[in-house]
Amino acid sequence: MEPVTWAALLSAAAVCFALKLGGWLVPPRLLADPLVRRTAALLPVALLAGLVVVQVAADERALVLDARAAGLVAGALALLARAPFLVVVVVAAATAGAVRALS
């Protein structure tokens, strides 16, 4: 169990909890600003989009298209077909696994 990973886990968990608790402790007026709310609502959108790209196409410092991209396309199709989350994930895994097995 890598010490770096534990340090990252514990500090990330601590800050996330501080964020949750902070919301309970600061005056509501501060957080009710429309700009603050809009930015907070869109942060996950920006970050998740970045995470998709990095997870699927990054290989160290290069962008590559491999079995992971095939898996993502399959998962995206499942999403468009309104499949539940778990099905989307399984479809992506199965597709990537199949591409790897066949190549």
Pull the structure tokens for residue 26.
């600061």
Q: Restricting to residues 12-51, which ones interact with another protein according to CB under 8 A? A: 12-17, 19-24, 28, 31-32, 34-51
Question: Binding marks (x or -) toward another protein, 58..87, rule CB under 8 A?
Answer: x-xxxx---xx-xxx-xxx--x----xxx-
| Minimum CB distance to another protein, residue 99 (Å) | 8
| Minimum CB distance to another protein, residue 61 (Å) | 5
3-state secondary structure 27-91: CHHHHCCHHHHHHHHHHHHHHHHHHHHHHHHEECCEECCCHHHHHHHHHHHHHHCCCCHHHHHHH
| Minimum CB distance to another protein, residue 19 (Å) | 4
